[in-house]
Chains A and B, each alone.
Chain A
Amino acid sequence: MFLETVSLALSSIRRNALRSFLTLLGIVIGVAAVIAMITIGSGTTERVKADISKLGSNLLTVRSGQPPTPGSAPSKARDFEVKHLTALEANLAGARAISGASQKTVRIVYGTESLSASVTGTDTDFFTVRDWAVALGRTFTGQETRGGIPVCVIGETVRKQFFGSGDPLGAIIRVARVNCPVIGLLESKGTSGFGQDQDNVIIMPMQAFQRRIAGNNEVDTIYVSALDTVPTTEMQKRIETAMREIRKIGPDQDDDFNVRDQTQIANAMTSTMGVMTGMLSAVAGVSLLVGGIGIMNIMLVSVTERTREIGIRLAIGAQEWHILTQFIVEATVLALLGGIFGIGLGLGLAAIASYAFAIPFNPSLSVIALAASFSAVIGLVFGFFPALRGARLNPIDALRHE
């Protein structure tokens, strides 16, 4: 009986194939949007987490100002200077390496070629804390660091642009009007989870960067790599205590800096993704609602068109619930078909996106099952009213209907 009702519904849908398809578009688009968003979102999160775990879980980042919270602008605070960095190095136990870094995006010129790249001023420990080795040449010497001598370690993208696959060592490039000999080439890191080219960089000694490029004494970020024997949370506390001391913050004052480990950064990124996914899901929900109204509309048309058929069925002994079931099943099958098309389309879009942005493609079975059952429920809910109208028809009037 049930299978027959389903096959009856399918043949009725097939009879009006174009009309049924157009009715379904709302649900198809809604479900496809949800499936694509969630699949792409989870792939991106996974990629970001993988990138961060490559950095090492015992890396802590210290920045000035309160950590930004959703809805409020990042607070301004005194910038770090080299003296803070030196003081921290002197007062912190359990650190494997401490490094300060500042960053600025400037124009780089070599011969007739030029490009825009991110320049980082830092010290030799930077390569240790960021776990970033040179593929060719060397990093800075202590003398170069202390003396503020402009020398450059370049990223793979910069090499490709200026030297192709040739040897860049010894060449002199102009970094924001400062002549700077190339002393090393960094290992390639590729593109980050957010599509950023991590190889379009130049690393130079902090003093040279501050004096010749940034024109100030600021240190943007202090990286602390903890020893494996010291837990990250313990290290975070030690840094906070030391920094309050160094920055002379009174006991009743808030920190004017923030210390975060990589998991916290990952969580912040993931929660941002979550907000975006939630907003898009709300839009998709509206689309599903519109799709449901479309189904209700088409089912009302279908009931009116088949008034005579309903009259015949009622006359020969069909109960109201037989008619009710017939039309509800038809609406549910219709909506479920829309859901299945939508899931296919959404997975297709997610597969294309994962190929284009090099993120993992791992569709979630539970999300697919949820989307399918949700669309069936839409059919059930929005099919009920038209079906009830059909079931309540008076058989005599229905038989007379032209």
Chain B
Amino acid sequence: MPEQPFIEFADIWKSYGEGEAQVNALAGANLRIGSGEFVTIMGPSGSGKSTAMNIIGCLDTPTSGDYRFMGVDAGRLDRARRAVLRNLYVGFVFQGYNLLARTSAIDNVELPLIYRGAPRRERKIRAAAALERVGLSDRIAHTPAELSGGQQQRVAIARAIVTEPTLLVADEPTGNLDTARSHEIMSLLTRLNQERGLTIVMVTHEAEIAAYGSRIIRFVDGHIASDEQNKDRPHVS
């Protein structure tokens, strides 16, 4: 019996609108991602890459087709069960950081643990450890307004990994950062992938950033146009 893939898309369609105005964001996408891969998704806007990422992250469900995440039929779970799945196994990193304003770094990082019902002491210890992993031990009491863009994105990464997820979903994580900060963030994600075996699915439109992935997938018109292994990954110390 073949091994159950970590992520599996089988003929996935996602449609918006009805009748004449119907738009297919995904039109029969098939995809398999194994545990421990670092996949970057590229493609023009409207190609379906964000829709695919939302389904992978269990934020959205397909109109038809099967989506299996860690062997679970995640495409047919209700809202509440998908929230549990996200809380336990998925970390999110967004382009705009999406930290809570006027809330300290450590309070932002512990947020997913609150919804898991973890006791306060445990939350603080784990949040501090996550901030240490992203190199922000000296900034735990700072609010987002007191941090640079790169630092805010590192707080967001700490929030994504504090729950020890199996999957990290990143949507243009370097979109708001300059070149030097972008490479810092990508090095951090690469290390999380290599050292912890964290599976990462990242959407980007910059070739230089996409090059960090071990596999690059291109979407066009809701289909996967190309899917290749990447041999030229930048060296990460």
Contact = CB atoms under 8 A, between A and B. Distances in A.
A316 B112 contact: yes
B115 A319 contact: yes
A315 B115 contact: no
A1 B111 CA distance: 12
A320 to B, nearest CB: 7
A313 B117 contact: no
Contacts of A312: 98-100, 111
Interface in A299-344: 308-309, 311-320, 322
A290 interface: no
Contacts of A308: 98
B60 interface: yes
A315 B111 CA distance: 11
Interface in B59-89: 59-60, 79-80, 83-84, 86-88
Contacts of B87: 316-318
A315 B102 contact: no
Interface in A362-402: 395-396, 399
The secondary structure that dominates the A interface is helix
Contacts of B59: 315, 395-396
B115 A316 contact: yes
A15 interface: yes
Given A317-B86, A319-B80, A396 B112 contact: no
A4 interface: yes
B114 interface: yes
Contacts of B83: 314, 317-319
Among A311, A313, A315, A316: residue with most chain B CB under 10 A:
A316
A1 B100 contact: no
Nearest to B98: A312
A320 B79 contact: yes
A333 B210 CA distance: 48
B72 to A, nearest CB: 15
A317 B112 contact: yes
Nearest to B120: A4
Contact of B86 (A15, A311, A316, A320): A316
B192 to A, nearest CB: 17
Nearest to A316: B112
B196 interface: no
Contacts of B88: 317
A313 B86 contact: no
A399 B92 CA distance: 12
B54 interface: yes
Nearest to A5: B114
A318 B54 contact: no
Interface string A1-24: 100100000000001000000000
Interface in B83-108: 83-84, 86-88, 92, 94, 98-100, 102
A15 to B, nearest CB: 7
Contacts of B117: 1
Given A1-B117, A395-B59, A396-B59, A316 B111 contact: yes
A322 B111 CA distance: 12
Contacts of B116: 317
A17 to B, nearest CB: 14
A399 B98 contact: yes
Nearest to B112: A316
A318 to B, nearest CB: 5
Nearest to B97: A312
A315 B93 CA distance: 10
Contacts of A319: 80, 83-84, 115
Given A315-B86, A315-B92, A396-B59, A1 B114 contact: yes
B98 A317 contact: no
Contacts of B215: none
A172 B148 CA distance: 97
B54 A396 contact: yes
A313 B100 CA distance: 9
Contacts of B111: 312-313, 316
A258 to B, nearest CB: 71
Among B83, B86, B116: residue with most chain A CB under 10 A:
B83
Given A316-B159, A318-B115, A396-B59, A309 B100 contact: yes
A318 B113 CA distance: 10
A399 B159 CA distance: 16
22 contacts: A1-B114, A1-B117, A309-B100, A312-B98, A312-B99, A313-B111, A313-B115, A315-B59, A315-B92, A316-B111, A316-B112, A316-B115, A317-B87, A317-B88, A317-B112, A317-B116, A318-B115, A319-B80, A319-B83, A319-B115, A320-B79, A396-B60
